[in-house]
Amino acid sequence: MKDLGEAEVILGIKITRTPNGLKLSQEHYVEKILRKFEHLDNKPVSTPYDPSSQLKKNREHSVAQIEYAQIIGSLMYLINYTRPNISYAVGRLIRGFPSVLKGFSDANWISNSDEMKSTNGYVFILGGSAISWKSTKQNCISWYSMEAELIALEKTSFEDEWLRNLLADIPLWTRPTPSVFMRCDSQAAIAKAKSKIFNGKNRHIRLRHNIVW
């Protein structure tokens, strides 16, 4: 084992020795972040957050979603080590944080006359890449296509909850874990998921509705 001497930089943290002890700084890391996201020329401010700022959630199409997530992650790294004073400001930014995890659900309702069970499938996208997917035969017979789509949404919801718990265990992931907006191509299933009326031939799907909704 070789003695490399006193540490100067470790895990992106610069260590400076003073008569009173050790000083930890990430100034070089902050400069690297500003240069990466082209904000190096921004004017410095005296406080991390302006109380008069009015932040609103984006209701339109998401733009630069991955870049936004990268910036938030970089700031949270600073919070955990040398800059706890920006916790509130970053927390305000996270409140409007769009979900970077997307789920897609679909079902094929009895396409084969010899097979009376439908097939459902899902895929989850994180950062532009598929991280979880599955296609399986349903374990019950659906009366109509809307029911098959709702069953597929139910199975997708189970995977959604597992993935959110997994992300919550990652130390630098955003808190709280953003909700996942699942996509479904059945307008009937979407309408039923938003409805609380169960009668006639759809009474038996109430339990699945509660899971999805």
Place of tokens 């470790």: 10
Residue 44: what are its φ and ψ, rounded to 5°?
-70, 155
Strands in 129-137's sheet, in edge-to-edge order, are 129-137, 119-126, 101-108, 181-184
Q: Which pLDDT belongs to residue 104? A: 92
β-strand 101-108 against 181-184: which pairing, if any? parallel
Per-residue pLDDT of the chain (213 residues; tens, 9 = 90+): 787 778 888 887 888 888 888 888 888 888 898 999 888 888 888 888 877 777 776 665 566 667 777 888 888 888 888 888 888 888 777 766 656 688 899 888 766 666 678 888 899 988 677 889 988 888 777 766 777 888 888 888 889 888 888 887 876 566 666 677 778 887 877 777 777 666 666 665 666 555 555
Q: Where are the domains of the chain?
A: 9-95, 101-212
Using N-to-C axis directions, what is the helix angle for 65-81 and 87-95, rounded to 10°?
A: 150
Strand segments (E) across the chain? 9-10, 13-18, 21-25, 101-108, 119-126, 129-137, 181-184
CB 105 within 8 A of CB 156: yes
CATH class for domain 101-212?
A: alpha beta
Q: Which pLDDT belongs to residue 39? A: 86
Q: Which pLDDT belongs to residue 177? A: 67
Q: Could you write out the three-class secondary structure of 102-144?
A: EEEEEEECCCCCCCCCCEEEEEEEECCEEEEEEEEECCCCCCC
Q: How far apart are CA 91 and CA 84, in angstroms?
A: 11
Q: How far apart are CA 14 and CA 29, in angstroms?
A: 9
What is the identity of the amino acid at 17? R
pTM: 0.53
Q: Which pLDDT belongs to residue 61? A: 59
> Would you call 89 helix, strand, or coil by DSSP?
helix
Q: How far apart are CA 79 and CA 33, in angstroms?
A: 14
Helices marked H in 169-204: 187-194
Strand partners, 162: none
